[in-house]
Structure formats: structure tokens, C-alpha cells
A and B are shown apart, each in its own frame.
Chain A
Amino acid sequence: ECFKKKKKQPTATLTVQLTLACVSAPQLFYSFFKSLVGKDVVVELKNDLSICGTLHSVDQYLNIKLTDISVTDPEKYPHMLSVKNCFIRGSVVRYVQLPADEVDTQLLQDAARKEAMQQKQ
């Protein structure tokens, strides 16, 4: 259950922390993704397909809509070459890769930790 959605992969430890936080603090990540609307991301699905695109919108279940998409490995995954916009179910997302300079991981980590502690009280 812990392996739901991982937000970044700078270090293994951070990935696990953010993953657990995502499960225990979904509102935080909903807010986080809302603030990233308009930015370019790469969504890696649990079936290994990676989709690059602009984050158009997100909902409370972290379902994601991307526009101007391209498949990062089109030879391996030719399925979606003709698609421009897509809706990705939140539960099939493994990673959402973000440009490193778009996010302060320390701040996000602190906020996630605080939110998780708040939830326990």
C-alpha cells in the first residue's frame, strides 16, 4: 500500500518519505499538484510507460490530465503516438517526475512530515 505515488526520485529515502506522506497526507499533494498546473512533467505509470506532457489539471484522487503529450520511449511504446491530450487514472501512476528547480524538496518534506503528524493527533 505504501507504493502508491512517488513524487520525485532525488534519493531513495526522500522517495519513500514522500510516498508515505502521499498516502497519509493526500490533501498536501493535491495542493502541491494544483500549484504545478502548467508545468511540464513526466508521468511514469506502473506498467512502465512514461508520458511527458504539460500538467493541465488534477483532482482530489490525483487523477491527472496532461496536454501536448509525448511518449518518452516511443519505440517501446508506440501505442500513444497519435494522442495529444490524455486523462491518467491516479492509481496507475508510479512516479511524477518534476524539473528539479521547480520544487523545494526540503520544504515539501517538512510540510509532509508536519501534515502526517497532524493526522495522527
Chain B
Amino acid sequence: MTEEDSSAKMSEDVERYLKLNPPCSSSSSSSAVAFANKSGTFKSSSPPCPEHVLENVLESVLQFLTSRCDRNAVSLVCKSWYRVEAQTRFEVFIGNCYSLSPARLTHRFKGLRSIVLKGKPRFADFNLMPPNWGAQFAPWVVATAKAYPWLEKVHLKRMFVTDDDLALLADSFPGFKELTLVCCEGFGTSGIAVVANKCRQLKVLDLVESEVTDDEVDWISCFPEGESPLESLSFDCVESPINFNALEGLVVRSPFLKKLRTNRFVSLEELHRLMVRAPQLTSLGTGSFSPDNAPQGEQLPDYAAAFLACKSIVCLSGFREFRPEYLLAISPVCANLTSLNFSYANISPHMLNPIIRNCHNIRVFWALDSIRDEGLQAVAATCKELRELRIFPFDPREDSEGPVSGVGLQAISEGCRKLESILYFCQRMTNEAVTAMSENCPQLTVFRLCIMGRHRPDHVTGKPMDDGFGAIVKNCKKLTRLAVSGLLTDEAFSYIGEYGKLIRTLSVAFAGNSDKALRYVLEGCPKLQKLEIRDSPFGDAGLRSGMHRYCNMRFVWLSSCVLSLGGCRDVAQALPNVVVEVFGSDGDDDDDTVTGDYVETLYLYRSLDGPRKDAPKFVTIL
């Protein structure tokens, strides 16, 4: 529910509550006393202490506050409000697992039911961080197992999770309902099997872009017999075969199943069988979308009929090894689709056209650049409700062909005026196209452009891409996330600092001329929380210019820049609440990798509990 909805509901409920117990005088404390007496909460003969009464009132009111920003604000009002807020917070979000210790969490919050925990910074996804850096789930599961036996939901991103951790989770939380692992690693199918087997109330098991070791365990068979409460099961990232009959049996006994994302080991015939068993699905990951047997001309399953029967499907993904001749089978659901993910399918414009021209309601569209500018034009012509577009490179190398360009970007900007979020990989771009997007799509909150050729200028004018990105920050007043690329001078960063007042996340690679660029950003962007920079000419002076900001940021990452050990140490000494980690790109060295003065990677983040104790040898904490 939106912010407005929840606060409206809150005031509605509060009003209703007060009407039942109208205050008998205008004074707040006596009315609170009257209110408390009528509600019969207090059994003591003497009038209850006003403080307790106020806390009870607050408690009743606060349960309607779900936004963590609101709750954080509430907790700062006074000690009593801090206490009550801590008692009534049921879901906690920890953006950096090293910003506090598990002990601090369990000490402050006594009633948590749901935990969202994020570990490694995003650049770890691109091999810029040596393995075994940290972000282990283990200490968290141990602490929460003791403190919150009623825990229902765990959502982890970029954490290192072991099978033992999963086993402990499954053993410790009898009412456990939702497990979501995004970009995690360290576990295998045996850990998943334990969760499937022991968490009898499991509604959600979502494995998203995680690395799951194949322990050759038939985990699907480990779900208990009988009716299953499963509502969502996603295993499209699991790179090992599954027991299909067991999956089919599970689906049959899961009447509440709405989301099912299968992996590429599920063939088209098998998908068909699943769809027939679960016509109530709203979100379907289609697996390989390829038949097991070469078509021999015998009676083929009617795939289109299966899609026709699944009237509720609004989200489609998968297509991991798709066969083009079967793509049209999805046609019956196109008009209802709000989300379509073709990003694992080498789809040409010719294949895309008959599909996309019926997708009038699409809000989220992910695809490979194999759809070319032509395909993007088709999207622009039909998908007027598009909010999020992601175009990934089919051939992710710097010197590959580049089938999408400013032409496609401009077409999208002209056709999809409600666009809010875009991720676009290309080989070449023009300032004109980027500027056009900034003018046509003022609702943009996320603009991530990756011109894969490093330092590539505008391919028509030969100028840097400064003006394009400048237009984005200037015209897109709601922009909170920006990733820049191409040839960029310090001027681009001066624009970002001048106009990017709401930017929370900034990604920079191979850009800028000098420390001025970094200074512009650190001095100009008050909302900046996450700054990730690689291979840019920023040094100690630039780093120093952000001293006043680091305590208010989630993290700063600088790799392959021009930092010296001395410069990093200055920051560490000046800011005791900030942990400054320095390490090299390969984790093999057992001794201090920091040879000489050059710093390969700097990763700094605020922390309430000082430097972590689990840092591997190749990490130096200054």
C-alpha cells in the first residue's frame, strides 16, 4: 500500500478508536485516562500512570506506521517514543550488514517478524571483490534464532549463506513463512531441501540470481505431503535438474500458488503440464521454453490453449533456451501482461513484433539488445504504460556489434512518456538522444546508461557525453538513481552536483578528469547514500572533500582510482564512526595486500559497532 494509503488508513483507524471512547474533557491527560478506563486495559485501582497510558496509545497508533523512514523519525522524538517504536517494529531493513552488530539489533527490537538484510556492495557482482570477503549470514541467523523464535520472513541480498545457516533457520523458526535470497551464494540444493522440508508454513521460497550448488539432492521432493501453503516458488537461477514429477505433484497440492518461476531444466512439455495444473498462476517463469523432443509431427500439446486457460497471468519470464516457433503460444496472455522478461532470450525484432504489439498494458519490460532499435520502436509504439525498461547486451563485450543506439532510446522516450526507470546497454550513444529522453520522460527516477566502449564520446558530434547526462539531472527532477558512462569530463559531474539533489545512488566508471568531479558530487548531492566508482582519476583530495558526508552515507566504493594509503588513513582517523576497508582485487595474498602506497579498492561505510571482526587477511581496516 502507498504512503498516502497507509497514513489515511491510520488516521481513519485512530479516529474510529477515539470515537468509541470520547474524551470527557479537553485536557489531554485526563481524556487519556478516561479513554484508558473505558477500554478496560488497566486493572489497578489507582489511576494508571499517564506515561503508560500514552505509551499504550502510541503503541496502538504506531502499528499503522509501516514505512521505515516514518518509524525512524518517530524513534527520535524522545526516549519513550523510541521505546514504544522499538516494541512495535515488526520489520527491519538493514542496508549494510556491517553497519551494526546482530547484538545491537536484538537488543533494540524485541518483536521482529521480518528481516531484510543486505551484504556486499553491488560491484561485487562484477568480480571486483575477492571471494570470501564477508557478509556472512551465520552470525545473524544465530542471533535471531535466539531472539525471535516467531520470525516469519527473511530477505537477503548479496549475503553469504551456508547450508548450515539454512538448516538453523529451518529449525529455529516454526512459523517461518518467507525466504527470499537475491544474489546470494554459499549454499546448495541440500540447504534448500531442509528449508522445504522443515518450514511447514512456508509461503514464499524465492531464489533470485543466486548461485546454488548442485548437491544432487532432490529438494522438490522434500516439501511435505498434503496441502501446501506455497504462494511463490522461484528457482529459475538454480542450475541443476529437478524432479519434474515431484514438482508437478507439489503444484497440484498448492492451491494458493500464484508465482512459479521454473529453471531451464523444465521443458516446454513439462511447462504445459504445470500450467494445466495451476491455471490460477499470476506470475510464470517459463523455464527453457524449448521442447525436450524434436518435433516429430505427432500430436503436440496445445501450448496456446494452456496460456489461454491461465487467464490470470500478468508476469512472464524465463525463455532460457527458447525456440522461436513456440513464442506465439504466449499470445493469449499478452493483453493482460504487466511484466515481460525476455532478457535471456535472443529475440529478433521480427520475433518480437507480433508479441509486443498486443502488450498494451506492459509496465515492466526486460530484453536483450537482440531486439535492436527496430524492436524498441515497436515497444514505443505500443507500450504506453511502460514504467521500467531494461535492455541487456546479448554480447557483453566492448567491441561487439551494438544493435541498439540513440535511435532506440529516443524512440522509447517519445513513445513511453510514463517511463520511470531505465537500464540501457549500448555501444554508442548521442547527447541528443539522452537529452530527448530527459525532456520526454520527466518522471524518471532511475537512469542507468552503460555505453560499453569505455570513454566513448557522442558518436555523431565527437563531444563528451556531458551535456546528455547534464540534461538528465536537470530535467528529471525526481531522479534518485544514476549510472553514467561514455566519455565524461569534470563538467558532467558539476551538473550532477548542481542538479542531482535527490540522487541516492550514483555509479561511475572510467569517467572524469580530476578530483574536482568527485568534489562536485560529494558537495552537491545531499541525499547521496551509495557511491560506487571504478577506474576514474580521483585521489586523496577528492576523497577528503566528502568527509562531512560519509557518516550520513551507506557506503562509498572507489576502485582502481588514484588513492593512497595515507589519504585513506586520514579519513579513517578523522571519522571514528566510519569503517575504512582497503583491499586488492585478488584475495590470494595472506599478508597485507597493501604493498606500497597504492590503494586498489577502498570500501568505506558507517558503523555503529566499529570494525568487523570477521575481515579476511586480504582486507586491511584502517
The answer to whether A and B belong to the same complex is no
**What is the interface of chain B, defined by CB distance below 8 A to chain A?**
none
